[in-house]
Structure 1
Amino acid sequence: MHFDTLALQATHQPDPATGAVIPPIYLSTTFARNEAYDLSGPYLYSRANNPNREALEKALAALDGGAVAMAFGSGQAAAMTLFQALRPGDHVVIAADAYYGTPALLEQVFHPWGLTYTKVDMTDLADVRRAIHENTRVVWTETPSNPMLRITDLQAVADLAHSVGAICVCDNTWATPVLQQPLSLGCDVVMHSTTKYLSGHSDVLGGALVFRQDDELAQRVRLLQSLSGAVPAPFDCWLVMRGIKTLAVRIRAQTETAGQVARFLQTHPQVEAVHYPGLESHPSFVLASRQMQSPGAMLSVQIKGGAPEALLFAGRLTLFARATSLGGVESLIEHRASVEGPNTATPVNLLRVSIGLEYAQDLIADLAQALDSLA
């Protein structure tokens, strides 16, 4: 089944009680019992389960080709719950340029608890191999990476993880299951911030984990999900389900525009570098072409000069909202180093760009006038 059809079939679950094509939002936190104190259905309390969350989790598992999925209140909650499923003394290998909040979780929350971790360049397989130890339990990948858009060879890294009995996790937020299927490339778990492309409208916070097998780890994560209560509200689940219906067409349109924008930027004299895996100049262009259906709608651009020039350029744009996050229908631009703070490894002249659904030539004209003003 083509992904476009799958996305609609996975989210098309008419209400059995009324026949409503779009199912209702079940806001109830609790569910009644009969005179014999038996539950009338499979739901007890919304922290443990809810019809909207169950529907979303089934859809997410179907989209990624997984056996089971769990939805959370944010992408960070999803990552935290996976790390909570480990034990003190376990070791994690993580990409050095992963989303800054993920290593922050390891350093500030789980390292004092007893987890150890090693940051590596995931594009260097020898570096990954050296970092894996006998007590390594998770190799955490992110491809394309945030914000440098580096590409990890998922099959090769998964093989290295499996050589010591570890699992390979891929943060697939930027690619989504439309563009990349990590479970089919050897990964064991896929993580999403559903806040981004899956919901697609910058109006809901959420996260998810999708497991290739409904194994002991998946069952432990399910237990922690229920016990910790870091779950999305029913309305949040409903909104993500709504977003999934248009996911494929949105991403295709945004990717087409992102390619045009990237090609324009790389020719402008005020641009130092463009990071986009759809450009043949990208160091992992061949790998990205093999591993991804298309290069996606995220790119980063480095402006000649430093932070002042990058900020001046961003400030002169009129069609790009200067805001954190990505994956919505509106184009966003962000000075990543300012967001990450004084310990950032991101170049200070770099701006991360999330391409929306605006007309490509309008965005390019806006970028051109802002760049030309720097000359």
Structure 2
Amino acid sequence: MKIVKVEAIPFAIPYVKPLRFASGEVHTADHVLVRVHTDEGLVGTAEAPPRPYTYGETQESIVAVVDKIFAPQILGLTLLERESVHERLDRTVGNPTAKAAIDMALWDTLGQAAGMPVSGLLGGYTDRMRVSHMVGFASAEKMVAEAERVRGTYGVTTFKVKVGRRPYTEDVAACRALREALGDDVELYIDGNRGWTAPESARVLRELADLNLMFAEELCPADDVLGRRWLVERCPVPFIADESATRAGEVTRELLGGSATAISVKTARTGFTASQRVLHECEGLGVEVVMGNQIDGQVGTLCSVAFGSAHRHSARYAGELSNFLDMTDDLLTEPLTIENGTLRVREGAGLGIDIDPDKLARYRQDI
């Protein structure tokens, strides 16, 4: 079964409210729907969410690199020649979410061809994941209100708190307010998106020592090599590398260099193939992983839960699977639902992605 066409369709869906964090803010999901077509009529689907402030990609650049460079290189290859696909994609540096979307769309098509769910092909460990919800920048009162709403409505009991503003006032106050309001049975961890210095991060961790945080993520820049190592040595909880460890080689560098003790796996930037390599590397080194979120829509979230639920190591902790709740709409015919704090994989062959053609026509940006 051969690849005969690759589509990159730009679409834009507004968020209910801006999502704010230390490295940027997002008002609209300016994403790209990637589709891989085969000569037997099967179509695999995935989502590429550009994050220019993290990876340098834009919606326009993703469409251009898929249309002009990647698609011509992989046309004619079969679904089983995935290593050849990656060899050709890797001739072009960067463009992680464009490459990841092609990879996941190929897996979706392969699952359909085999009549099996992708989660089963990847490992089939479980059929659902616990959900972690990201709480973005706002006043402490609004952050608490959002967390209480999500817990009450969806049963979510794990929250990733965005920090990286003024560390000794706003951020500490928000974390303390969340712990006080939500109680000790809720899991909390913090993500600084590189917004603090190493000394600031160390002081905040000392001030929050009584809050029983689960993780600390990217509190200071990895480029501050000595400062980051100094901080990680003193961090009382696993220190997650996220945007500083976007592929297997960077994971090796951060872990062996002492700049991280845990890794965030994001299928939006490493697809399924490279995500497995990162996951297995972490398993071999005895390093914890969490399933991260690229502020994905529902298509991207389906991909994340399919991968995360497929493996014991990635299903251990709650995955960041709820950012689609902040979007005013989405593209799936049957929307995702979070129940009792969990999200299930879709049944059936492939990833179970069924795009509503009317919604796609309404939100696409190229017609």
Q: Which structure ranks higher in relative contact order (CA pairs < 8 Å, sequence separation ≥ 6)?
A: 2
- Whether the TM-score (by the shorter chain) exceeds 0.5 is no
Q: TM-score, normalised by structure 1?
A: 0.30
TM-score by length of 2: 0.31
Rg (Cα) greater in structure: 1
